[in-house]
RNA sequence: GGAGGGAUUCCCGAGCGGUCAAAGGGAACAGACUGUAAAUCUGUCGCCACUGGCUUCGAAGGUUCGAAUCCUUCUCCCUCCA
């Protein structure tokens, strides 16, 4: 029934969305015409999913809507080994505790992500459940025997490391692809999984898995890869000043998350709408066309940011984020907005708490506050920024930019809050306590 | 083992006794324009008690009224010949 009301087949839709890079078969459309068990893996090298993992996440969401059974695998075991794919040097091993903690957090995140949405329930598995129990001797006999070292060395991920002498590759990482290949075998055996997908650097691992299933189970299964998250310049995307854009609201605030996608370049927004939203083709094409023509209203970016924020952080959080953006970018005096909403809107902004006495007497020197709150690296810089008119106090640009400006109690919002802004969108909060 | 070349402010890279906090480019930040975009233009870009002062040019000494610039030693890099 889910399939019936789509005018596109699952594979056709993924192709249109630009989520298919390489496939192990030309017949994926046929495979995906009937409900299929599909898996993709997530590496617990960090405690949270991030922007890059939105590509596989949303691909799964799209497939699920077509009625496919999704398995999201967390690499509790493989995370202990380290995937050499796409890495130019040996990774330092995370300790078991850290991998374990990350694995639990990712599993919880995945569960939340797939809690809502159309389609069959999603199964979340940890490959430590089976890889952890394997005996080395059995593994080498049953799995290792099917891998020719000659072939393994041809794989991109490994070859690169052989060619660069300094980097090298340890036996541990060299073995990685066997483990991932074995995952496919296990998921095929347990759940009848017939399709694996992953980011484009996973191609070698996926092919190994397809191969191994054929050898061990005598069945033909398939795989495909998705593009990496890059911007129009082909650069790896999803970095904020503070590092990766995480899906965990504690690591990247919902506000920062929304703002990140809102600032998507016109050249990228059409592609991201196709990847990351469930909107239908005509709508996406209309939005993308608007952005291409430079319509200026950024409807496309707003739609993208809203859909993603809702998907990851929920409707309520999206509402807060929108109100925050409105109050901060609406212009005008922030005193009118009121302290409560501002505190909420700026919950992720850098902040400090200073004593009330600072404002008494001759007042607190603006330049000092700018440095203390982290808006400027030094007082010299703070003076320059003030002189350049880059600093706004409580949303109002300084009437007479003077580096000697002092702030008195009457400048405080609700008698307890001061909002400093550098440039257009860097906000800092000074609380008086 | 021998012979040379180099190490400059976030990066690249000029400077080679005073006019050097140090050209130029990139990055970054801000202003204008705009759409909280891109491009473009403009400005800033060591620190502070900021019309002045202080600390920087691999490290430590030295020469000199004065050194990023000259000398000595040390550390590290690179090239060529063995």
In angstroms, rounded to a whole number, what is the distance separating the alpha carbons of residues A130 and A38?
A: 18
Residue A3 confidence (pLDDT):
45
Residue A243 confidence (pLDDT):
62
Checking each nucleotide's C1' against the CA of A384, the nearest proves to be B44
Distance A271 CA to B61 C1' (A): 63
Distance A163 CA to B6 C1' (A): 29
Distance A167 CA to B76 C1' (A): 22
In angstroms, rounded to a whole number, what is the distance separating the alpha carbons of residues A315 and A22?
A: 35
Distance A380 CA to B69 C1' (A): 29
Checking each nucleotide's C1' against the CA of A392, the nearest proves to be B30
In angstroms, rounded to a whole number, what is the distance separating the alpha carbons of residues A153 and A385?
A: 55
- Give A11-34 as a 3 state SS string: HHHHHHHCCCCEECCCCHHHHCCC
Distance A87 CA to B80 C1' (A): 35
Residue A2 confidence (pLDDT):
45
**Crossing angle of helices A299-313/A281-292, nearest 10°?**
130
pTM beyond 0.90: the answer is no
For strand B, give the nucleotides within 7 A of a protein CB. 29-31, 34-38, 43-50
Distance A166 CA to B61 C1' (A): 38
Checking each nucleotide's C1' against the CA of A295, the nearest proves to be B35
Cβ < 7 Å from nucleic strand B? A 241, 259, 262-263, 265-266, 291, 294-298, 301, 325, 329, 371, 377-381, 383-385, 388-390, 422-426
Checking each nucleotide's C1' against the CA of A385, the nearest proves to be B30
Checking each nucleotide's C1' against the CA of A259, the nearest proves to be B36
Distance A432 CA to B42 C1' (A): 38
Distance A325 CA to B52 C1' (A): 44
DSSP string computed for A246-305: BSSTTTS-HHHHHHHHHT--HHHHHHHHHHH----HHHHHHHHHHHHTT-SS-HHHHHHH
Q: Which residues of A48-87 are buried (b: 16+ CB within 10 A; e: fewer)?
A: bbbbbbbbbbbbbbbbbbbbbbbbbbbbbbbbbbbbbbeb
Q: What is the pLDDT along chain A (433 residues), one digit of tens a residue?
A: 444 445 688 999 999 999 999 999 988 999 999 999 999 999 998 889 988 899 999 999 999 999 999 999 999 999 988 888 777 667 777 788 899 999 999 999 999 999 988 999 999 999 999 999 999 999 999 899 999 888 888 887 787 777 665 567 788 888 899 999 999 999 999 999 999 999 988 999 999 999 999 999 999 999 999 998 887 666 667 766 556 788 998 888 888 899 889 988 888 899 999 999 999 999 999 998 888 777 677 889 999 999 999 999 999 989 888 888 888 887 677 887 778 778 877 877 888 999 999 998 888 999 999 999 989 989 999 999 998 889 999 888 886 767 788 899 988 998 899 999 998 888 899 999 8
């Amino acid at each position: 029934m889910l399939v019936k009301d789509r005018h596109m087949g699952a594979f056709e839709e993924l192709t249109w969305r630009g989520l298919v890079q390489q496939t192990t078969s030309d017949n994926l459309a046929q495979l995906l015409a009937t409900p299929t068990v599909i898996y993709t893996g997530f590496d617990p090298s960090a405690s949270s999913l991030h922007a890059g993992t939105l590509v596989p996440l949303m691909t799964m969401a799209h497939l699920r809507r077509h009625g496919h059974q999704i398995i999201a695998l967390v690499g509790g075991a493989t995370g202990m080994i380290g995937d050499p794919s796409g890495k130019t040097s040996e990774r330092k091993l995370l300790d078991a505790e850290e991998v374990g903690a990350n694995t639990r957090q990712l599993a919880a995140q995945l569960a939340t992500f797939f809690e809502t949405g159309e389609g069959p329930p999603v199964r979340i598995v940890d490959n430590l459940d089976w890889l952890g129990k394997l005996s080395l001797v059995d593994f080498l006999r049953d799995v290792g025997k099917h891998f020719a070292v000659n072939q393994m060395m041809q794989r991109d991920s490994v070859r690169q490391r052989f060619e660069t002498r300094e980097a090298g590759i340890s036996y541990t990482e060299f073995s990685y692809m066997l483990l991932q290949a074995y995952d496919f075998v296990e998921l095929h055996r347990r759940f009848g999984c017939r399709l694996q997908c992953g980011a484009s650097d996973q191609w070698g691992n996926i092919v190994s898995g397809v191969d191994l299933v054929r050898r061990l189970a005598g069945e033909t299964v398939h795989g495909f890869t998705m593009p990496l998250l890059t911007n129009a310049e082909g650069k790896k995307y999803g970095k904020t000043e503070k590092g990766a854009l995480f899906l965990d609201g504690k690591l990247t605030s919902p506000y920062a998350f929304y703002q990140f996608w809102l600032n998507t370049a016109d050249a990228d927004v059409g592609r991201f709408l196709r990847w990351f939203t469930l909107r239908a083709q005509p709508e996406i094409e209309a939005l993308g066309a608007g952005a291409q023509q430079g319509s200026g209203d950024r409807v496309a970016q707003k739609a993208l940011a809203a859909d993603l924020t809702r998907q990851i952080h929920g409707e309520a959080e999206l509402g807060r984020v929108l109100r925050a953006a409105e109050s901060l970018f609406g212009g005008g005096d922030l005193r009118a907005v009121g302290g409560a909403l501002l505190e909420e809107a700026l919950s992720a902004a850098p902040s400090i708490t200073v004593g009330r006495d600072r404002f008494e007497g001759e007042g607190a020197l603006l330049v000092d506050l700018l440095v203390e709150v982290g808006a400027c690296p030094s007082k010299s810089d703070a003076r320059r920024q003030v002189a350049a008119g880059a600093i706004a106090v409580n949303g109002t640009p300084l009437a007479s930019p003077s580096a000697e400006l002092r702030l008195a109690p009457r400048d405080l919002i609700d008698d307890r809050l001061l909002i400093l802004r550098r440039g257009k969108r860097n906000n800092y909060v000074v609380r008086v306590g």
